[in-house]
Amino acid sequence: MKITRAIFLGAMCAVLASHVRAADTRPNFVVIMGEAQGWASCSVQMDDTVPGSKSTLAHTPSLEKLAADGMRFANFYAASPRCTPTRVALFTGKSPTALHMTFVGEAKGGKEGTYSEEGSKVIPPQQISQLPESEVTVASMLKHEGYATAHFGKWHVGRISPTRHGFEENDGPNNNGGPENVENPNPKQAFLNTERGMDFIARQAKAGKPFYLQISHYAGRGGTDAKPETYADVRRRATTERDQRMVANAAVTQDMDTTIGMLMAKLDELGIAKNTYFIYTADHGAQGRNANGPLTNGKGTVWEGGLRVPFIVRGPGIKPGVCSHVMATTVDIFPTIAAIARVKEPLPKGIEGGILTPVLGGTTNATVKRAREEFVVHFPHYDKDELGPASAILLGSEKLIHPYETNAPMLFDLSKDIAEQHDLVKERAKETAELERRLNEYLKLVNAGMPVPNPKYDPAKARPFEPRRGDRGGKGGGGNGPEAEKAK
């Protein structure tokens, strides 16, 4: 009798174990969020038709391998030209505009690029800096589905612990200073967070549990933010004046690439690479570092250089070595992961992103279904653009920028003018009116915070603005545009 019972219990355990193994074949996810990584920050050519869409100084062999094994998107847009808004978009699949999290923190005092009580023509709207706990995040969604979840690195969406947003393991609600609150956490935290991530991966692999790991890197501001040997390597290759200005940024990028290679090697070592989706993107474009290729301007602006960023995905079913020209955005990541993970619950209300799986599968002429055709970036704040607060809307190849100081829109055809040098408002009045209509309709729909005229404005006290090296220059264009390309 005891033998029979033992055999029965053993058989039951085997059956349960087989069910656990079947359930745990669900894919894993590793998401890397780069900080201020411009469209041309790495040595991967992000657009196969634009040679200038890659760096000739930074060497990023790990990202090159990721792109060779997976798919890169030539037309991928960050949800905002600033870090906090883009991060909340990745976490929730919702636009920063709808969440009223459109900036990091409004600066005052009349300094360059900041709001001045008497020197600014408009008053920016109030916004929040704390991701509400009521929002469903990609981590809380996957945790509910039985996934292990972790976040290491720059959090920057409020002071509430990532644990309360679904990340079981994390190193705290860190801002730019990291857990030690130092001038810049790199290179220490870049490698420490990677070690934490590899340990997390190894433990989940041993337990046979699917996981979601996000590592969010910190920015680099100088040569000391990279390993000395990395900085020396890049400096040796910097033969031009332009390259010499970019050494620190390229060195930090190379260190990040090394950490990405470490993670990829760990997945290979554990034998789970083929069941893991590996995603790399950035929070916004670079600032004044000529790391945005032929694009105009950068961080803190709604020009292409501030919004268009790298996006590379590798994983099961993804065609290798493909450059997709389908437009995608940060808000697409949440619903795409939900679809791949076969999440049972309906997506939260207010999701603006679409599912990218038809594109990732290599379907010819695949389209992404979203709640709305157009993509809107609402940035009603004074920051790094002489235009001041502005919104941008993209539909097809047309992009309209609406500055709120002048209310004089600009229209560009990105299929012919990626550097946004030629304003087509006069030639395409009908298209301009339609995009303006769509923009206003969207902003009203999500109850967007809007700038209002400043009754205290004094032209004599207008905020000063000096275009930075690599920022806008010329008619509607920038120092990173075609003319700059000729000078490279």
**Cα–Cα distance measured from residue 311 to residue 465, given in angstroms and rounded to the nearest whole number:** 32
C-alpha to C-alpha distance for 246 and 293, rounded to whole angstroms: 12
- Is the distance from CB of 32 to CB of 282 less than 8 angstroms? no
**pLDDT per residue rounded down to tens, the chain (488 residues):** 444 434 433 443 343 333 333 447 899 999 999 999 999 999 999 999 999 999 999 999 999 999 999 999 999 999 999 999 999 999 999 999 999 999 986 444 445 567 888 999 999 999 998 999 999 999 999 999 999 999 999 999 999 999 999 999 999 999 999 999 999 899 999 999 999 999 999 999 999 999 999 999 999 878 899 999 999 999 999 988 888 888 999 999 999 999 999 999 999 999 999 999 999 999 999 986 578 999 999 999 999 999 999 999 999 999 999 999 999 999 999 999 999 999 999 999 999 999 999 999 987 678 899 999 999 999 999 999 999 999 999 999 999 999 999 999 999 999 999 999 999 999 999 999 999 999 999 999 999 999 999 999 999 988 676 544 344 433 333 333 333 333 23
Q: Hey, what amino acid is at 367?
A: T
pLDDT at 102: 96
pLDDT, residue 152, reads 98
pLDDT attached to residue 82:
96
- The terminus-to-terminus CA distance of the chain in angstroms comes to 84
Alpha helices in 93-137 (DSSP H): 96-99
Q: What is the structure's pLDDT at 288?
A: 67
389 contacts 450 by C-beta, under 8 angstroms: no
**Residue closest to 467 by CA, chosen among 307, 298, 308, 222:** 298
Q: Which among 41, 34, 21, 96 has a CA at the least distance from the CA of 288?
A: 41
Q: Which domains does the chain have, with CATH numbers?
A: 25-360 (3.40.720.10), 375-456 (3.30.1120.10)
pLDDT at 220: 84
Half-sphere exposure of 135 (CA within 13 A, CB side): 26
State how far the Cα of 126 lies from the Cα of 451, in Å rounded to an integer: 9
Residue 364 is predicted with a pLDDT of 64
- Check if the beta carbon of residue 351 is closer than 8 Å to that of residue 331: yes
Q: Where are the alpha helices (DSSP H) in 271-391?
A: 304-307, 333-340, 357-360
Structure confidence at residue 39 (pLDDT): 97
Q: Which of 448, 445, 463, 322 is nearest to 382 (CA)?
A: 463
Q: Is the peptide bond before 187 cis (omega within 30 degrees of 0)?
A: yes
Q: What is the pLDDT of residue 448?
A: 97
Q: How many residues does the chain have?
A: 488
Q: Which residues pair with 34 in a beta bridge?
A: 282
